[in-house]
Copies of this chain bind each other. A is one copy, B any other.
Amino acid sequence: MQDKPLRQSRIQKKNREAILTAALREFSARGFAGTTIDQIADAAGLSKPNVLYYFQSKDAIHESLLRELLDLWLDPLRELRAEGDPQDQILAYAKRKLELSRDYPQESRLFANEVLQGAERLAPILGGELRELVDEKSALIARWIADGRIAQVDPHHLLFSIWALTQHYADFEVQVRAVLGPEHDPYVEAGVFLDLLYRRLLRPQPRE
Q: Using a CB–CB distance below 8 Å, which chain A residues touch chain B?
A: 29-34, 109, 112-113, 115-119, 123, 126-127, 130-131, 134, 151, 153-154, 156-158, 160-161, 163-165, 167-169, 171-172, 174-176, 178-181, 184, 189-190, 192-193, 196-197, 200-201, 203
Q: How far is the CA of A113 from the CA of B119 in the complex (A)?
A: 14
Residues of B within 8 A of A200 (CB): 151, 200-201, 203
Q: A156-B180, A189-B157, A193-B157 are in contact. Are A174 and B109 (CB under 8 A)?
A: no
With A164-B165, A196-B153, A201-B201 as contacts: A116 and B117 at CB distance below 8 Å: no
Contact A131-B181, Cβ < 8 Å, known A151-B200, A172-B116: yes
Chain B contacts of A193 at CB under 8 A? 153-154, 157-158, 161
Kindly list chain B residues whose C-beta atoms are within 8 Å of the C-beta of A33: 30-31, 33-34
Q: How many copies does the complex hold?
A: 2
Interface SS of chain A: helix, strand, loop or mixed? helix
Bound CA span A171–B108, Å: 14
A156 partner residues in chain B, CB cutoff 8 A: 179-180, 184, 189
- Can you give 13 contacting A-B residue pairs, CB < 8 Å? A33-B33, A116-B116, A126-B174, A127-B179, A130-B179, A153-B197, A157-B193, A158-B193, A160-B176, A161-B165, A168-B168, A200-B200, A201-B201
